[in-house]
Structures are given as structure tokens and as C-alpha cells.
């Protein structure tokens, strides 16, 4: 399967600001172990500071932003995170249960790939292999 | 873990022509399920037509090329493959045991990400979590 990313429908990410997702490679298109998604965050947009029990592998394609990431502590989420500046060519591993947030701090869209392991709970119904 | 791809040492890919790899996210740096690699193929370079029992998920970053991919048949490898033109923004899933080959058909480097599931046999010793 080969395709072009703009031929995949972009959808808003609920609970995030100015953030959009394309599900590029998923169980529906044959993936068995991990899924590739393409994110676009508008200027001033951000994902919420959140965590989940699976990892992200990220590669930044365009734009400039900040990635907040760290281990969650009993004190507060904010106290535990560090801030990483990201732009084209930066990549990262966000480990399972690490809190994290993407912010666009530039004047153009921030675009990046985000790969996740395929689990029952993190694949939308329409992207499952049914 | 956040890093910049050029800060990762590039290594030649044995058995391929003008092909170089950077191991970006691996068991050594905390990955448990899948590994992210950055490939650079010089003009006129190519990987061999080959197959293996694990999949690739690929996203093209720069350059122009061809991806030959298909199911291996008893007749010959070449007879079964189809040719896909690839350039920035194209992505693909090469399923386990599909034969495949990347060729740079442009005048600049062809660069792409290639993510694989982590298995004992496909991670170099120096990238394992020891």
C-alpha cells in the first residue's frame, strides 16, 4: 500500500486546540503492530497535557513548537515536565505514561508524524480491521 | 527523549548501493515495540530487492524515487512486484514477506523514515537494550 498524505481525510482532534489528524497507516489498511498518524497543529494551537499507557514515536516535519514531556508525579503534572524545542528533523520517544503536550509556537503550522502501538483502545472504530 | 536527526551517526547499509541509515529510536534509547530509522539513498542508489518476515512503515521526507513492492511468487521476484513513484509526503506499508526495493531516480538524495517492529533479529547489537 502506497498513498499520499494529502489524499487522507484530515479530522479535528477532540479535546485539543487547532489540532488535526490524518490516520495514514492503520489496521484498516493492513497494519498489525503500529499505526502512523500525521498531525497538524495551527499557530497557537496545542494538544492537552495528558498521558496514556502507550508510547509515541514522533518525527517533526514542518514548523516550530514546544514539546512538554516528563514523568507524572504525585505533586502536579506541570512540575515534572521538561520543555523541548522542536522543529523539522527533531524526533522523540514519549514513553508510556509520560505526560506530554505539543504546542505550536511558530507562525506556520506545526506538522509531525506520531506512531503508536496498535491497541484496542487507541484505534478509532473506523480504522480497525473489521 | 528528544534529539535531532543529524546528531545521530549515519552508517552505510551493507548490501545496498549508496544507502545510509540512522537509527533514531531503538531499544537502546527506550523503544519497546517499534524502531524508527532514517534512510538516505544517494542519486542512482538503491536497496536490493529483498524480503523479510516483518513489515515496514515508510514516510518519504525528501527526494524522488521508486518503490518496487509485491508478493513473492514461485515464478520470480520481479514478476510479482508493482512500481510506485514516491516523493515527499508519500507513505507506505510494506507487509511482512513482501519483496521490496527502494531506488533513487532523482538528482538529490532520497530520504525517508522506515519504522519496523522490534525483533531479536532486526536490531543491531549496538542498538539493543543491554
- Residue A62: CA atoms inside 13 Å, Cβ hemisphere, count? 15
Task: Inspect the interface and report whether the beta carbons of B3 and A91 lie closer than 8 Å.
Answer: yes
- Contact, B24 vs B39, CB < 8 A? no
Contacts of A34 in chain B (CB under 8 A): 33-34, 57, 115, 117
Between chains, do A69 and B2 touch, taking CB under 8 Å as contact? yes
Q: Give the pLDDT confidence score for residue A94 in this predicted structure.
A: 97
pLDDT tens digits, residue range A13-40?
999 999 999 999 999 999 999 999 999 9
Among partner residues B2, B55, B92, which is closest to A2 by beta-carbon distance? B92
Q: What is the ipTM of this complex?
A: 0.95
Gap from B38 CA to chain A (nearest CA, Å): 10
Is the dihedral angle over the CA atoms A94, A99, A105, A106 positive or is it negative? positive
Can you tell me the distance from the alpha carbon of B75 to that of A38, in angstroms, rounded to the nearest whole number?
A: 38
Q: What is the pLDDT of residue A5?
A: 98
Interchain CB distance below 8 Å, B25 and A95: no
B17 and A CB contact within 8 Å: no
Give yes or no for residue A108 having a pLDDT over 90.
Answer: yes
On the question of pLDDT at A76 being above 70, the answer is: no
Mean pLDDT of A51-78: 88
Maximal C-alpha separation, chain A: 46
Number of residue pairs across A and B with CB atoms under 8 Å?
A: 97
- At residue A74, the pLDDT reads 61
Is B59 an 8 Å CB contact of chain A? yes
The region of weakest confidence among A3-12, A89-98, B8-17, B68-77 is B68-77
| Mean per-residue pLDDT pooled into runs of 10, chain B (130 residues) | 97 97 98 98 96 97 97 68 96 96 98 97 94
Nearest CB to A57 within list B36, B61, B95: B36
* Distance in angstroms (rounded) separating the CA atoms of residues A114 and B33: 14
Query: A86 touching B, CB under 8 A?
Result: yes
Residue of B nearest to A94 (CA): B1
Flag whether pLDDT at A91 surpasses 80.
yes
Q: What angle do CA B125, B1, B30 make, to 5 degrees?
A: 35
Is A55 touching B (CB cutoff 8 A)?
A: yes
Nearest Cα residue to A99 out of A53, A45, A61, A39: A53
Amino acid at each position: 500500500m502506497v498513498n499520499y498524505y494529502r489524499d487522507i481525510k484530515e479530522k479535528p482532534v477532540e479535546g485539543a486546540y487547532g489540532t488535526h489528524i490524518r490516520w495514514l497507516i492503520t489496521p484498516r489498511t493492513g497494519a498489525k503492530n503500529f499505526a502512523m498518524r500525521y498531525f497538524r497543529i495551527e499557530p497557537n494551537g496545542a494538544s492537552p497535557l495528558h498521558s496514556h499507557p502507550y508510547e509515541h514515536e514522533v518525527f517533526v516535519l514542518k514548523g516550530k513548537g514546544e514539546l512538554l514531556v516528563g514523568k507524572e508525579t504525585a505533586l502536579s503534572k506541570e512540575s515534572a515536565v521538561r520543555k523541548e524545542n522542536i522543529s523539522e528533523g527533531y524526533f522523540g520517544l514519549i514513553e508510556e505514561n509520560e505526560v506530554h503536550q505539543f504546542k505550536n509556537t511558530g507562525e506556520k503550522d506545526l506538522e509531525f508524524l506520531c506512531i503508536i502501538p496498535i491497541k484496542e483502545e487507541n484505534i478509532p472504530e473506523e480504522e480497525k480491521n473489521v
